[in-house]
Amino acid sequence: GAVVSQHPSWVICKSGTSVKIECRSLDFQATTMFWYRQFPKQSLMLMATSNEGSKATYEQGVEKDKFLINHASLTLSTLTVTSAHPEDSSFYICSATNRGLNTEAFFGQGTRLTVV
C-alpha cells in the first residue's frame, strides 16, 4: 500500500510551547488528509479534514486556533499544537488519501505528544 510518513514519532514539550507534527505522503499525491487524536484505551477521534490548498474543516469541539492545520502541498500537511498544555498530551495520527484515485486512507505511524 501507499506510504505515509509522520514525524516526529514522539515529542516532549513544556507547557505553553508549540509543537509541529508533519505528515507526508511519500508515493502518492494526497488531496485529502485527516488528523486524529487518540487518548489511552480510546478510539480515534477525527479532529479535522484538510484538502490541499484550502482551509481545514474542523470537527465540532475542536479549537481551530489551538490546532493549526496547514495542507500547502499535495504531499505535506502539518498540525501545530499551539500553547500546549498537559491535557493536550495524546497520540496524534494522520492519514492521507487521494479521493479521485484511492479507495482507502493510509495512516502515518503516529506521534506521541507529552506536555510537561
Partner 1 sequence: ELKVEQNPLFLSMQEGKNYTIYCNYSTTSDRLYWYRQDPGKSLESLFVLLSNGAVKQEGRLMASLDTKARLSTLHITAAVHDLSATYFCAVASYNFNKFYFGSGTKLNVKP
Give me 8's grid cell.
516526529
What is the smallest separation between the CB atom of 45 and partner 1, expressed in angstroms?
8
Shortest Cβ 81–partner 1 spacing (Å): 18
Shortest spacing between CB 83 and partner 1, in angstroms: 26
With a CB cutoff of 8 Å and minimum separation 6, the contacts of 52 are 30, 31, 32, 71, 72, 73, 74
Q: Which is nearer to partner 1, 22 or 82 (CB)?
A: 22
Using rule CB under 8 A, residue 114 touches partner 1: no
- Candidates 15, 17, 83, 109; binder of partner 1 (CB under 8 A) is 109
Site for partner 1 in 40-79 (CB under 8 A): 41-46, 49, 51, 57, 60
CA dist., res. 105 & res. 100, Å (int): 12
Q: How far is the CB of 16 from partner 1 (least distance, A)?
A: 27
Choose between 18 and 42: whose C-beta lies nearer to partner 1: 42
